[in-house]
Copies of this chain bind each other. A is one copy, B any other.
Amino acid sequence: MAAFGDHVREVREAKRQEDRRYSLRQVAARVGIEPTYLSKLERGELAPPSEETTRKIAEDLGEDPDMLLALAGKVSSDLQAIIRKRPKLFAELLRELRRAPDHAILSVVRQVRDGDW
């Protein structure tokens, strides 16, 4: 249930095997939060942190920010801004793609990247 905390702890502990700079306290220090706070986040005692803090944690742990934000129950604010600029269009697109298989979405990405419109 505490997917965010579990994941952070797992990744941090893993990195710690080979680099003892990944103790809870040292990660907290680099991220700029109190060790107690990170402790409670990892154990799911508190709700996931803000987008900014989540990003810093992701960066320190070398994780994908969008993925960690998702585990925190959030969506990157820059993605939200993209949607807000053309809400109807993107709402339709996303709802249409909700059940599409991964490879279909990927092929759309590639197609758009190649700019064939």
Cβ of A105 within 8 Å of any chain B Cβ, yes or no, is yes
Known: A64-B88, A88-B67, A89-B106. A94 touches B101 (CB 8 A): no
- Determine if A69 and B97 form an interchain contact, defined as CB atoms under 8 angstroms apart: no
In angstroms, Cα B111 to Cα A78, docked, is: 26
In angstroms, Cα B19 to Cα A5, docked, is: 53
Q: How far is the CB of A7 from chain B (nearest CB, A)?
A: 13
Interface string of A103-117 (1 = CB under 8 A from B): 111111101110001
Q: How far is the CB of A102 from chain B (nearest CB, A)?
A: 6
Number of copies: 2
- Determine if A108 and B112 form an interchain contact, defined as CB atoms under 8 angstroms apart: yes
Candidates B78, B85, B105, B113; contact of A90 at CB < 8 Å: B105
Cβ of A1 within 8 Å of any chain B Cβ, yes or no, is no
On A, residues with C-beta under 8 Å from B are 64, 66-67, 69-70, 73-76, 78-80, 82-98, 100-109, 111-113, 117
